[in-house]
Structure 1
Amino acid sequence: MSRDNAAGVSEHPWRRYVALGDSFTEGAGDPDPRRPGGVRGWADRVAEELSNGHPDFAYANLAVRGQLLDQILARQAGPALALQPDLVTLSAGGNDMVFHGSDPDKLAERLDAGVELLSTSGATLVVFTGPDWGSTPVLGRNRAKVAVFNENIRAIAAKHDAVIADLWGLRELRDPLMWDRDRLHLSPLGHHAVAMRVLDALGVQHLLQPLESRELPHGNWRQARAEDLQWARSYLLPWAWHRVRRPAKVSEPIAKQPIAAPVTTPGQPAVAVRSHA
């Protein structure tokens, strides 16, 4: 969707945007040393578009990687409300299902309470359906749970008049190039696609255009198996060891950008091609 005015300025009613969530919202997989935490992500991209032509626009990102749904609601909702936003995005629950096997219906009950609390601010609230991981090794085993959770999210959004950014229906996310090498986080290309989905869900005209990724070369089952084993050695096993080891002393996590501030860092186009070697 492109802007239809000569100045290239998007018309929208929002002046203060606060993002809540985990590594997905923080921007993991999208490195940018100029940004807080050294990552950019879809939320930064959304803020960049919304701030264009609006010098009074402010943005805060309270996301902390690794947090579960209850942690996000307990530690981020209060600070978010204190910032008096008129636009809020909330993505939570993915870590619960993928890494803790949480029941999607019980998880949705807690999410419902959090959405109800955030809706008291009067802000426009955006929630997300989970992506379709059906073709992804290991994560694909959670496909049924994600589908059930998504139906609950749709019901919650209808109940509280929230906007849905539908990632399950974002077919582009089936492209491996949309994901980081760890297969858990989005690549810059994936974050770009999600930013477009959020802006479109809000009905905001923007300058972001779909980016075409290079087609991956066709391989055989032996190659695919070798890549899966390499991924398990490089990412899955170290993650599992870290979870089991549970270091006794861990520094308190810090939100990416806890203060609402103007968007001053210029955006750069996503990298459409990367190597999976």
Structure 2
Amino acid sequence: MSKRFVALGDSFTEGVGDEDAGRPNGVRGWADRVAEVFGAADPEFGYANLAVRGRLLPQVLREQLDRALEMRPDLVSLYAGGNDLMRPKVNIDALMRAYDAAVALLVKSGARVVLFTGVDGGDDPVFRRMRGRVAIYNEHVRAIAAKHSCVVVDMWNMRQLRDRRMWSADRLHLNSLGHTEVAISVLDSLGVSHALTRAVLGDPPSVDPRVQRAENWKWAREHVVPWVMRRVRGESSGDVIKPRRPELLPLEVERVPRKGASND
């Protein structure tokens, strides 16, 4: 089992959408949940989370890669590029060449590397327009993972993440249910026993079209317009944000039983 876990990336890995006022930056997220499972089994386990919301892929690599390598982790997660794909113009091939080089360095350091595909937003009228870009990005991720023998968490094929009840009010970030789903998939992909459980939501409720339109307008006012204005001003939601766990430190967590473990 891993002794040193470093998480790299943007808002997805920082934990945005999974609010927890008692934690740094006011969020928890899937990476914390994964770290808690490791930490419950080993009090000397160390965890650092360098991810910062709003970061583009080049920024993630420039600001976080060397710091991660200095910590000599045996497990690293990397997800970045989603913010780049949302820009009006993006050179995906160039982005992924830099991504490939970064993954090569992480693997060469001896770390086991976890990569992620993007989520399929085909059911969303806004993010459906990005579907082709995300699919190209995902094919690059899969090829790079195969080249370097990395673990891939295939969120594109996680059908449950297409349920809006897994997402926060901004429709861009996963809520606590969604982050738990990702944590489970990460742990399962690593072959780590755990006691996390997936949500059983049942069929989504039917929504009156008039109510849906009103909700869409409210979402646009509260989330889309501020996002556009930040782009116009050249600002990012992460401009004043610092990494939540910039150092590789042990976790103070309640010990929880793992699947199949004795309760004695």
Q: Say if 2:40 and 2:254, in contact at 8 Å, map to a contact too.
A: no
- Structure 2 match to 1:228: 216
What percentage of residue pairs aligned between the two structures are identical?
50
Q: CA deviation at 1:215?
A: 4.6
Is 1:60 matched with 2:59? no
Is 1:138 matched with 2:130? no
Q: Say if 1:45 and 1:192, in contact at 8 Å, map to a contact too.
A: yes
1:151-207 deviation digits (Å, cap 9, x = unpaired): 110000011111101100111101111000000100000000000010111111111
- Structure 2 match to 1:263: 251
- Structure 2 match to 1:110: 98
Separation in 1, partners of 2:144, 2:235: 36
| TM-score, normalised by the number of residues in structure 1 | 0.87
- Structure 1 match to 2:192: 204
Separation in 2, partners of 1:205, 1:247: 41
Q: Which structure 2 residue ranges, 5 or more long, are not aligned?
A: 257-264
1:57-89 deviation digits (Å, cap 9, x = unpaired): 110000011100000001100000011100000
- Structure 2 match to 1:83: 71
Q: Which structure 1 residue ranges, 5 or more long, are not aligned?
A: 1-11, 269-277
Give the aligned residue type for 1:184.
L
Q: Say if 2:47 and 2:251, in contact at 8 Å, map to a contact too.
A: yes
- Structure 2 match to 1:176: 164
Cα distance 1:29–1:129, how it changes in 2: closer, same or farther (>3 A)? same
3-state DSSP of counterpart to 1:52: helix
> How many equivalent residue pairs?
255
Give the aligned residue type for 2:158.
L
| TM-score, normalised by the number of residues in structure 2 | 0.91
3-state DSSP of counterpart to 1:259: strand
Separation in 1, partners of 2:181, 2:216: 25
State which drifts further: 24-33 or 136-145. 136-145
Is 1:72 matched with 2:60? yes
Give the aligned residue type for 1:103.
N
Separation in 2, partners of 1:55, 1:125: 22
Where in structure 2 are the equivalents of 1:21-40 lying within 5 Å? 21-40=9-28
Separation in 2, partners of 1:267, 1:94: 34
Give the aligned residue type for 2:16.
A
Cα distance 1:141–1:251, how it changes in 2: closer, same or farther (>3 A)? closer
Separation in 1, partners of 2:245, 2:48: 5
Q: 2:115 aligns with which of 96, 121, 127?
A: 127
Q: CA deviation at 1:221?
A: 3.0
- Structure 2 match to 1:47: 35
- Structure 1 match to 2:87: 99
Q: CA deviation at 1:137?
A: 2.6
3-state DSSP of counterpart to 2:156: coil
- Structure 2 match to 1:273: none
Give the aligned residue type for 2:59.
Q
Q: CA deviation at 1:100?
A: 4.4
- Supply the RMSD in Å over aligned alpha carbons: 1.9
Give the aligned residue type for 1:211.
A
